[in-house]
Amino acid sequence: KSYKSYMGDALQAQTISITTGAPQTLYLDAKDRALLGGSRVVLVDDVVSTGSTLTGMRALMRQADAQVVGVAAICTEGDASQWQEVIALAHLPLFPSRKDGAMAP
């Protein structure tokens, strides 16, 4: 998630970090870019919450001319219906908080 000089002519895509709420950049270095061209790939993430990282990874794969054929994660969270395409080990529901900051019962 940070550019290093050894990455060469890296591809990049913007996402919004769920932890900080700030924009961040995903990079795919020149070496990996060359390996992916024309390939079929599966995207793997640890936790899919908003889908921002998946969107960024998909953008990188389009730029690298790779075809995304599957998406997997350890967990998804939030509205399960929006993650039907994601193969996941578990789904974590989110509980809205009350106005006073406490978790809803």
What pLDDT, in 10s, does the model give residues 67-77? 999 999 999 99
Q: Could you tell me the pTM of the whole model?
A: 0.80
What pLDDT, in 10s, does the model give residues 27-46? 999 999 999 999 999 999 99
- Determine the Cα–Cα distance for residues 11 and 65; give it in Å rounded to an integer: 11
- Determine the Cα–Cα distance for residues 63 and 57; give it in Å rounded to an integer: 10
Residue 105 is predicted with a pLDDT of 52
Which tokens hold the place of 61? 């794969």
Taken in order of first residue, the domains within the chain and their CATH numbers are 5-92 (3.40.50.2020)
Which tokens hold the place of 47? 């936790």
20: CB partners within 8 A, 6+ apart: none
**Mean pLDDT across the chain, nearest whole number?**
88
Residue 104 is predicted with a pLDDT of 53
Q: What is the DSSP code (8-state) at residue 62?
A: H
